[in-house]
Chains A and B, each alone.
Chain A
């Protein structure tokens, strides 16, 4: 019993609160010390041989420090500087948990790093435990009264002494494990620690974490948005040597009224219409690109962040797809009876000309850290294709195929040069240097147009190889390509239209039909 409290008339209630505060705090310290930290060192470490990685160590130490602040409060009362330290450590702990969990959170189900406990890996629990610490600290603060802010050290009661003793035991055990697993200074924890052993013969002390490396905020995720400002358009300095040029038949400005620069182009033989996109606009035009039949302006920020539309294609049954640089997409279907009010959420302008069928995201594996600037649809395989563009971190040309039925990744590859193509790369050059901004499928071949080096690649979709390549002279920042009969229609960022003779089909074309056209997709 506290004499100060009992001396105040009617102070029975504050006295009870006083005891409850420190009792609850002692129990919280015991829980934090024994359950996550104690189990980690005694059960996972000493019994099962688990060694914390360097990030796990710091998360564990953060929990220990919160318990230590709790001991300060038990002894000296809830002074503001202790509360401040606890909040700072818990906030840092939540950050550590996010940083660590972020490395593994997007992996396939069940995957992770090291040990799983009750269905979650240890670092996931760290994030949760720090969150619980903040909640408990908030609850304890609600119980603080003026009489708790005494200046003299308190005499610890039984439960409080037990908390202190448990803390020393658990920290002592951690000292033993830390010495065995990480070693004395300057050795420190490791990214991939060897399992714990009491035998010095199996101890691994490492300085690898001190090695000089590039410091970055976002690491490999610091990918710049794609752009064409710096691309070199001259085919003569491209990665492929001695490319045959295609004949340019016509070059003229587009006469269409658009809400921005063209970003892609597609053509549909059945309706004799072109499909043209801008950053937010989707336009259906006549077969000569002279008149807009219908258009709409997509609200790119509604629900799925589509970002800047960079690729487009006609799909089955009149539907069209517009794909953003970030591989998010919108599927639309023309409808003369569309409700402008119902479509308010989807479109910024011309809301009664299309219905939105779906809006979602393509997920990739190899192309995960790469943007795209093109899209194409292949009716034979009933699939949508995208091709990546290089960025400041990753330079790879990856073709991704998404099955139309579930719009899920079905294939990914970096197409090599076909040995029979006769194509040759320059010394230390690679197809990964190409910036594919337009793609179209015809006769089982994916025609990909690179804004960099004005190069047209012909990729056989059955062989998954580049079977031909051509130079297109005079292109400046082309953004889209469509195939109409024997001609390639190319639009660029300046609104120019270039018509080029379609290259002759390589002999390899027939293989595609044998492999895919009749076997895998015989119904098409």
Chain B
């Protein structure tokens, strides 16, 4: 899944750098990548979502 996310990021950067007219699409891809990152981290830490220390 990290591979997929990095491909999305690469595509987004390409649009920003080489196809600035596709700003709206690039921003949507940025949001999708961010959500995917949050989701994957949450999946990986779902047995203890908060830092495992004293509060």
Task: Kindly state the separation between the CA atoms of A34 and B37 in the bound complex, as whole angstroms.
Answer: 20
Task: Kindly state the separation between the CA atoms of A96 and B38 in the bound complex, as whole angstroms.
Answer: 9
B40 in complex: contacting residue of A76, A153, A189, A215, CB < 8 Å: A189
Task: Kindly state the separation between the CA atoms of A354 and B31 in the bound complex, as whole angstroms.
Answer: 62
Contact B6 A178, beta carbon cutoff 8 Å: yes
Q: Nearest Cβ distance between residue B24 and chain A, in whole angstroms?
A: 11
Contact A61 B47, beta carbon cutoff 8 Å: no
Given A153-B23, A168-B17, is A186 in contact with B1 using a C-beta cutoff of 8 Å? yes
Q: Nearest Cβ distance between residue A108 and chain B, in whole angstroms?
A: 16
Task: Kindly state the separation between the CA atoms of A211 and B3 in the bound complex, as whole angstroms.
Answer: 20
Contact B51 A98, beta carbon cutoff 8 Å: yes
Contact B2 A209, beta carbon cutoff 8 Å: no
Contact B17 A220, beta carbon cutoff 8 Å: no
Given A54-B44, A71-B16, A185-B3, is A221 in contact with B52 using a C-beta cutoff of 8 Å? yes
In the complex formed, the residue of B with least CB distance to A179 is B3
Contact residues in B for A161 (Cβ distance below 8 Å) = 17
Given A54-B44, A215-B46, A217-B48, is A88 in contact with B53 using a C-beta cutoff of 8 Å? no
Contact A72 B6, beta carbon cutoff 8 Å: no
Given A65-B34, A81-B27, is A188 in contact with B2 using a C-beta cutoff of 8 Å? yes
Contact residues in A for B2 (Cβ distance below 8 Å) = 54, 57-58, 61, 178, 182, 188-189
Contact A85 B17, beta carbon cutoff 8 Å: no
Q: Which of A76-102 contact B (CB under 8 A)?
A: 76, 81, 85, 88-89, 92, 96, 98-99, 101-102
Number of A-B residue pairs with CB-CB distance less than 8 Å in the complex they form: 156
Interface range, A side: 35 or more
Contact residues in A for B26 (Cβ distance below 8 Å) = 72
Contact A171 B6, beta carbon cutoff 8 Å: yes
Contact A96 B41, beta carbon cutoff 8 Å: yes
Q: Most chain-A Cβ atoms within 10 A of its Cβ — which of B23, B43, B45? A: B45
Task: Kindly state the separation between the CA atoms of A156 and B17 in the bound complex, as whole angstroms.
Answer: 9
Q: Nearest Cβ distance between residue B39 and chain A, in whole angstroms?
A: 9
Task: Kindly state the separation between the CA atoms of A131 and B19 in the bound complex, as whole angstroms.
Answer: 32
**B interface size (C-beta, 8 A):** 40
B20 in complex: contacting residue of A68, A153, A188, A209, CB < 8 Å: A153
Q: Nearest Cβ distance between residue A430 and chain B, in whole angstroms?
A: 25
Contact A214 B47, beta carbon cutoff 8 Å: yes
Give the secondary structure class of B's interface.
helix
Q: Which of B11-26 contact A (CB under 8 A)?
A: 12-14, 16-17, 20-21, 23, 26
Is residue A216 contacting chain B, with contact meaning CB distance below 8 A? Answer: yes
Contact A54 B40, beta carbon cutoff 8 Å: yes
Q: Residue-by-residue, is A146-179 near B (CB-CB < 8 Å gives 1, otherwise 0)?
A: 0000000100100001001001100110110011
Is residue A405 contacting chain B, with contact meaning CB distance below 8 A? Answer: no
Contact B3 A68, beta carbon cutoff 8 Å: no
B34 in complex: contacting residue of A85, A96, A101, A186, CB < 8 Å: A85
B9 in complex: contacting residue of A61, A191, A215, CB < 8 Å: A61
Task: Kindly state the separation between the CA atoms of A118 and B40 in the bound complex, as whole angstroms.
Answer: 29
Is residue A462 contacting chain B, with contact meaning CB distance below 8 A? Answer: no
Is residue A55 contacting chain B, with contact meaning CB distance below 8 A? Answer: yes
Contact residues in B for A71 (Cβ distance below 8 Å) = 13, 16-17
A72 in complex: contacting residue of B3, B5, B30, CB < 8 Å: B30
Contact A76 B10, beta carbon cutoff 8 Å: no
B27 in complex: contacting residue of A72, A171, A213, A218, CB < 8 Å: A72
Beyond the given pairs A76-B20, A188-B1, 6 more chain A to chain B contacts, judged by CB atoms under 8 angstroms and listed by A's residue number, are A54-B40, A75-B23, A85-B31, A185-B1, A189-B2, A189-B40
A-B CB contact pairs (8 Å), 26 listed: A57-B2, A58-B37, A61-B2, A62-B37, A65-B34, A65-B37, A69-B30, A71-B13, A85-B34, A92-B41, A102-B52, A164-B16, A171-B6, A175-B6, A178-B6, A179-B3, A184-B4, A185-B1, A189-B2, A189-B40, A214-B47, A217-B48, A219-B47, A219-B49, A220-B48, A221-B53
Chain B residues in contact with chain A, CB under 8 A?
A: 1-7, 9-10, 12-14, 16-17, 20-21, 23, 26-27, 30-31, 33-34, 37-38, 40-41, 43-55
Which 6 interchain pairs have the tightest Cβ spacing? A219-B48, A102-B51, A153-B20, A58-B41, A188-B1, A178-B3
